[in-house]
Amino acid sequence: MTNSGTGYPYPMLNPPSFRWNRPDPLPAEPKVHEWIRTLDLGEAVAPDWSDIDVTLLGVPLSRSSISASAASETPDALRRAWKYFTTYNLDEGVDLSPLRVVDLGDVRQHVTDIAACHRNILEAMAAMREHHSHTLPLVMGGDHSITAMLVKGWKRAHPEERIGILQLDTHFDLRSLEDHGPTNGTPIRNLIESGTIRGEDVCNIGLHGFFNAKSLKEYADRAGVRYVTLREARRRGVEKAVAEALSFLAGKVDTIYLTVDMDVLDTGVAPGAPASTPGGMRTEELFEAVRIAGTHPKVKAMDLVCLDPHRDVREVTVKAGVHTMLSFLTGFAQRKGL
Q: Which amino acid belongs to residue 183?
A: T
257 near 151, Cβ under 8 Å? Answer: yes
Nearest Cα to 88, choosing from 155, 34, 160? 34
Global confidence as pTM:
0.95
pLDDT of residue 111: 81
User: Which regions of the chain are under pLDDT 70?
Assistant: 1-8, 41-46, 63-67, 177, 179-184
pLDDT in tens, 103-115: 999 999 888 788 8
Tell whether 261 is in a known binding site: yes
Ranges of beta strands (E only) in 108-197 are 136-141, 163-168
- d(CA 179, CA 75) in angstroms, rounded, equals 29
**Pairing mode, if any, of strands 226-229 and 202-207?**
parallel
Residue 54 phi, psi (nearest 5)? -135, 135
Tell whether 173 is in a known binding site: yes
How is domain 31-37+51-336 classified at the CATH fold level?
A: Arginase; Chain A (3.40.800)
156 near 124, Cβ under 8 Å? Answer: no
Tell whether 144 is in a known binding site: yes
| Cα 2 versus chain centre, distance | 28
Which residues, in sequence order, are bridge partners of residue 302? 138, 258
End-to-end CA distance of the chain: 30
pLDDT of residue 279: 97
